[in-house]
């Protein structure tokens, strides 16, 4: 038993050494494999830092896919949205001219009327009797005046007596005319053509003088008064077209600046600007609807614009990529206003140039590009590809 134990004790250092050598070989092999993969990866990198051959875009070995848009020449303006309320261009309150009981009321809210249509009738019997009495008085006064004329010519009566009878005739004529006018007032008529927007009385009501009865509005043209800042009013012109959005209908119609008021409100320094909507544009509109008018300020014509996403770089170092002969050409540009997803370009591009709108974030000057269709089918027409000489399909 003792020799066996000695042999086992002597073999333990050899086993430990063998285990250590195996572990070292495993780590060495792993390290060599990692370095080899890194070297292989570096070998496949292009000059731009991405995988692929020379001249490729980031992460690929061929031309970079991009979307383009054409530099357009259009009008450009700063916009201001102002809220207002629609109202008829003219609304007239119809009041009673004489007192009496209402015999009939012929209209109600929503009734369309023409000028002169009878809206209601007031009992005319009392005034009719007064007219007949005035007619009798006029006949007597005319007879007396004629007799006085004959007697004065024969020098039977004095001039004073003649003048008295002539004056009585004139007064009787005036009284009859006044009563006839009041009798006509028993027929309440529409002063303008339009729509009855209010009816405040019913048949059988007793009305006095100047009692409000109806409101008739001309809705052939609707207007809205917009409170506009005194700083923006000088940029507006009467007759200019204004897009008006009607929230109740979810649609936009075309309006026109009808007039600009001459004075500002002393409390808020806002100037009323009246915008009119007429013709077919008023279909479905009603007085009282809330609207939002978009005023175009400082409008300029013939401005070069590109989609805002085509402009890259920080402020003061803006640039765009123009596709020329299948390659991206970086151009420094000077930009102006940025409105509604479009940016004004003052210098750096020309009308008709094709600028890259998508895929320009990682491009470099001179990189090969491939023009592709926009991913979204609802992309604006300005972003559709335009054939470029030398571009690869």
Radius of gyration for the alpha carbons in the chain, expressed in angstroms and rounded: 46
Helix extents (H) in 259-374: none
State how far the Cα of 242 lies from the Cα of 134, in Å rounded to an integer.
59
CATH code, residues 79-88+217-299: 2.40.30.170
Class of domain 64-76+301-383: mainly beta
Looking at beta carbons, which pairs linking 26-31 to residues 24 or more positions away fall under 8 Å? none
Of 179, 271, 164, 175, which Cα lies nearest the Cα of 225?
271
* Helix (H) or strand (E) segment spanning residue 270: strand 270-278
* pLDDT of res. 187: 96
State how far the Cα of 298 lies from the Cα of 48, in Å rounded to an integer.
45
* pLDDT of res. 296: 86
Residues 6 or more apart whose CB falls under 8 angstroms from that of 161 comprise: 148, 152
Of 95, 101, 122, 92, which Cα lies nearest the Cα of 210?
95
Structure tokens at 171: 């007064």
CB 372 within 8 A of CB 65: yes
Three-state DSSP at 292 gives strand
Q: How many CB atoms lie within 10 A of CB 185?
A: 16
Of 245, 239, 306, 303, which Cα lies nearest the Cα of 275?
239
Counting beta carbons within 10 angstroms of the beta carbon of residue 289, is it exposed (0 to 12), middle (13 to 18) or buried (19 or more)? middle
97-213 is classed CATH 3.10.20.80: no
State how far the Cα of 276 lies from the Cα of 244, in Å rounded to an integer.
10
Residuewise pLDDT in 10s, the chain (393 residues): 444 444 344 444 444 444 445 444 544 444 444 444 433 334 333 433 343 344 444 445 588 899 999 999 988 778 899 999 999 999 999 999 999 999 999 999 999 999 999 999 999 999 999 999 999 999 999 999 999 999 999 999 999 999 999 999 999 999 999 999 999 999 999 999 999 999 999 999 999 999 999 999 999 999 999 999 999 999 999 999 999 999 999 999 999 999 999 999 888 899 999 999 999 988 899 999 999 999 988 778 889 999 999 999 888 889 999 999 999 999 999 998 887 788 999 999 999 999 999 988 888 899 999 889 876 544 444 434 444 333 333
Given strand 369-371, what is the order of strands in its sheet?
Answer: 327-332, 319-324, 354-358, 64-70, 369-371
* pLDDT of res. 361: 86
Residues 6 or more apart whose CB falls under 8 angstroms from that of 291 comprise: 83, 84, 85, 86, 224, 244, 245, 246, 247
Helix/strand/coil percentages in the chain, nearest 5: 30, 40, 35
Question: pTM of the full predicted structure?
Answer: 0.61
Residue 286 Cα distances to 16, 212, 237, 290, angstroms: 99, 23, 26, 10
Residue 107 Cα distances to 48, 72, 220, angstroms: 82, 57, 19
Of 255, 258, 257, which Cα lies nearest the Cα of 282?
255
Q: Where are the domains of the chain?
A: 64-76+301-383, 79-88+217-299, 97-213
State how far the Cα of 336 lies from the Cα of 321, in Å rounded to an integer.
18
Residue 220: left (phi > 0), alpha (psi -120 to 50), or beta? alpha
């Amino acid at each position: 038993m003792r020799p066996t134990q000695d042999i086992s004790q002597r073999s333990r250092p050899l086993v430990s050494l063998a285990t250590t050598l195996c572990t070292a070989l495993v780590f060495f092999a792993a390290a060599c494999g990692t370095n080899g993969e890194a070297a292989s990866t570096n070998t496949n990198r292009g000059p731009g830092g991405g995988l692929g051959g020379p001249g490729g875009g980031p992460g690929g070995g061929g031309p970079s896919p991009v979307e383009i848009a054409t530099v357009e020449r259009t009008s450009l303006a700063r916009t201001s949205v102002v809220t207002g309320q629609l109202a008829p261009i003219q609304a007239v309150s119809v009041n009673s001219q004489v007192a009496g009981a209402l015999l009939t009321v012929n209209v109600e809210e929503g009734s369309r009327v023409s000028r002169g249509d009878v809206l209601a009738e007031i009992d005319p019997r009392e005034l009719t009797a007064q007219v007949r009495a005035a007619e009798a008085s006029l006949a007597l006064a005319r007879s007396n005046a004629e007799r006085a004329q004959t007697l004065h010519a024969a020098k039977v009566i004095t001039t004073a007596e003649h003048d008295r009878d002539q004056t009585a005739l004139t007064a009787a004529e005036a009284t009859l005319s006044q009563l006839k006018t009041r009798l006509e007032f028993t027929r309440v008529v529409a002063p303008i053509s339009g729509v009855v927007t209010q009816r405040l009385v019913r048949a059988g009501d007793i009305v006095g003088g100047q009692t409000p009865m109806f409101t008739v509005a001309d809705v052939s043209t609707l207007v809205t008064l917009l409170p506009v800042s005194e700083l923006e009013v000088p940029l507006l012109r009467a007759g200019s077209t204004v897009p008006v959005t009607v929230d109740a209908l979810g649609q936009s119609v075309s309006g026109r600046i009808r007039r600009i008021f001459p004075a500002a409100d002393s409390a808020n320094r806002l100037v009323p600007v009246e915008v009119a909507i007429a013709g077919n544009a008023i279909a479905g509109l009603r007085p009282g609807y809330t609207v939002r008018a978009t005023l175009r300020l400082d409008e300029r014509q013939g401005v070069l614009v590109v989609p805002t996403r085509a402009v890259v770089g920080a402020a003061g170092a803006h640039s765009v990529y123009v596709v020329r002969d299948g390659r991206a050409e970086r151009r420094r540009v000077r930009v102006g206003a940025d409105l509604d997803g479009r940016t004004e370009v003052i210098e750096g591009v020309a009308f008709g140039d094709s600028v890259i709108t998508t895929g320009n974030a990682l491009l470099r000057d001179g990189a090969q590009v491939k023009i592709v269709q926009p991913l979204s089918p609802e992309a604006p027409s300005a972003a559709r590809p335009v054939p470029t000489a030398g571009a690869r399909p």
